[in-house]
Amino acid sequence: MIAITPAELLLFADFIHGRTGIVLNNTKAYLLESRLAPLLDEYGAKSFTDFFYGGHRSEEWVARVVDAISTHETSFFRDQRPFDLLQGKILPEIIGGRQGGKGENLPRLQIWSAACSTGQEVYSIAMIIAELLGSDIKRWHITITGTDISEAAIKKARQGLYTSYEVERGVPPVLREKYFEPHGEFLKVRADLQALAVFAKSNLLGPPESRGVYDLILCRNVAIYFNQENKQRLFDMLSASLRPEGILIIGATESLFGVSDRFLRNESCNTAYFQKVRG
């Protein structure tokens, strides 16, 4: 495996920070070496300098480097407590506060899973909603939007295809039976559940774009990779994307203290959540 020099590490760290907001310090040399090694081999590069200057102007090259560096570790119902919070409090309160309707007057529920990786968080939320609403789900207009900076992750999320291991490690048997179907060597998310989900590639720190306005946003374990300035940018953007008094859920080890005053911290089901402050 080709070793990365301190100067090359700085070169890639600056580039990746500029493109994604992810901060890579001098302890991340092995991460870059291991994750980019297959690409160096493919491009026939003899050093990280050759690899950088040989391809960094190509959008395909940029996308593949970002895919390689981005963390895609996820699972269905990962860190169970936020999903207990959604099922036991947040979603029942939103649903209970809206009356049913007909035609274009169907009540709406708009949710955003930011940095959704390969889609498991989105489909976990969809299963909770399906369980809460039952047959009444047909009387709602529901959209769960999943976005991620990785095109490869979004492609897998759209397919809704997962290995038995990926499904069994997080989804209880009763939900596996209801919401997944065999598809060759994979399990596929049932079509009516997939219909609730929309996936798109998006850079959370990229230029302003039309993101919609949401009742609920999950942005978990993302800000930990950003510096203070970009954390503030991120949470300002998330606040602007929430309806008045909308709900934000972040990672268990993350905090908004000293970062944003646009949210009020609450706690239920042994889990913190943040409500947008009116103003």
Q: Where are the domains of the chain?
A: 6-69, 81-276
Tokens of 186: 């994979």
- Which pLDDT score is estimated for 114? 95
Give the pLDDT mean for 225-233: 92
Question: In this model, does residue 54 exceed pLDDT 90?
Answer: no
Tokens of 20: 């994604």
Question: In this model, does residue 50 exceed pLDDT 80?
Answer: yes
- CATH 3.40.50.11540 given to domain 81-276: no
Give the pLDDT mean for 140-153: 94
- Give the range among 30-34, 126-130, 158-162, 194-198 with minimum mean pLDDT: 30-34
Angle between helices 151-159 and 59-69 (to 10 degrees): 70
Of 169, 141, 145, the residue nearest 157 (C-alpha): 145
Question: In this model, does residue 201 exceed pLDDT 60?
Answer: yes
**Interacting residues of 225 by C-beta distance below 8 A, sequence separation 6+:** 21, 22, 23, 71
204: burial class by Cβ within 10 Å (0-12, 13-18, 19+)? buried
Query: Do 217 and 163 touch, CB atoms closer than 8 A?
Result: no
Of 254, 23, 39, 28, the residue nearest 152 (C-alpha): 39
pLDDT level of residue 21 (50, 70, 90 thresholds): confident
Give the pLDDT mean for 60-79: 85
- CATH 2.60.40 given to domain 6-69: no
For all residues of the chain together, what is the average pLDDT?
A: 91
Q: Terminal CA-to-CA distance of the chain, rounded, Å? A: 54
236-270 tens-digit pLDDT: 999 999 999 999 999 999 999 999 999 999 999 99
What's the per-residue H, E or C state across the chain? CCCCCHHHHHHHHHHHHHHHCCCCCCCCHHHHHHHHHHHHHHHCCCCHHHHHHHHCCCHHHHHHHHHHHCCCCCCCCCCCHHHHHHHHHHHHHHHHCCCCCCHHHCCEEEEEEECCCCCHHHHHHHHHHHHHHHHHHHHCEEEEEEEECCHHHHHHHHHCEECHHHHHCCCCHHHHHHHEEEECCEEEECHHHHCCEEEEECCCCCCCCCCCCEEEEEECCCHHHCCHHHHHHHHHHHHHCEEEEEEEEECCCCCCCCCCCCEEEEEECCEEEEEECCC
pTM: 0.87
- Which pLDDT score is estimated for 278? 76
Query: Between 20 and 146, where is the model more confident?
Result: 146
- Which pLDDT score is estimated for 208? 67
pLDDT level of residue 59 (50, 70, 90 thresholds): confident
- Give the range among 4-8, 157-161, 192-196, 211-215 with minimum mean pLDDT: 211-215
Strand partners, 188: 161, 181
